[in-house]
Amino acid sequence: MHPGLAALLVRRMLPACFLLAPDACLGNHSANRANRARRVKLIIGLGNPGAEYDGTRHNVGFEVVDEVARRWGLEFQSAPADAVLAKSRGLPGGPPAALLLKPLTFMNRSGQAVGTVQRYYRVEFSDLFVVTEDVNLSLGRLRARRRGSDGGHNGLRSVIECLGTQTFSRLRIGVGRGDPGRGLTGRVLSRFDAEERPAMDEAVDRAVDAIGLFIELGIEPVMNRFNRQETAEGEADEEVGE
């Protein structure tokens, strides 16, 4: 058969929408699902670099992304910023496609590394997920938000300033206020007591689960599952700055 005639027959057999927009012909649901799969998520754990800060309350964000990397068999390497980065390419049978980032700029300048990596990989703001500690939440409690102010957290303040937006998802992990007479700096730079560690280990496990859910389905299911779970387990904590 003449090639031109064969092409004409194919065009008559296929719906016009398939020729003009195959995704539309397959249905919006399938197209949206494919688009989500192609978009990479950037998961950021906030903390301070250096062995002297390991295990401190301020470094819970680092601890969470370290655990994600461990479970997924990833190693942190140099990033196009003052940070380390672990990459999952979403290969069949492996973990989902994602970037795990630990800024090495110290907490108060975390946004410099976050902004650089976000622009380098062209990650949408809606695909960012920042994990950090919060002294205003009770020990081990999780709180997810799709947007909001820094709530007095210097790391979140830096991220907001460098991105130029408050519209990015974040997960705050409660480390407890402790003695009200003690300064916040001393509190966040302190290590967990032996009796606190089991609650934090459990919180880190839940945070890893929250990250997996965010990568798969976005922030809404994370909020619905983890915020409600936390509220059901105890009285609501005071919300600060959001």
What are the residue numbers of the active site? Answer: 58
**Single-letter amino acid code for the residue at 153:** H
| 3-state SS track over 167-202 | CCEEEEEECCCCCCCCCHHHHHCCECCCCCHHHHHH
Does residue 30 sit in helix, strand or coil? helix
d(CA 154, CA 97): 29
Sequence-ordered list of residues with C-beta below 8 angstroms from that of 98, at least 6 positions apart, any chain: 40, 41, 42, 43, 87, 88, 90, 215
Our measurement of the distance from residue 67's CA atom to the centroid of its chain's CA atoms, rounded to an integer in Å, reads 13
For residue 134 the two structure tokens come to: 């919060």
The answer to whether 170 and 144 are in contact (CB under 8 A) is yes
Cα–Cα nearest to 68, from 86, 91, 90, 48: 86
Beta pairing class for 142-145 and 128-134: unpaired
Cα–Cα nearest to 188, from 203, 174, 198: 174
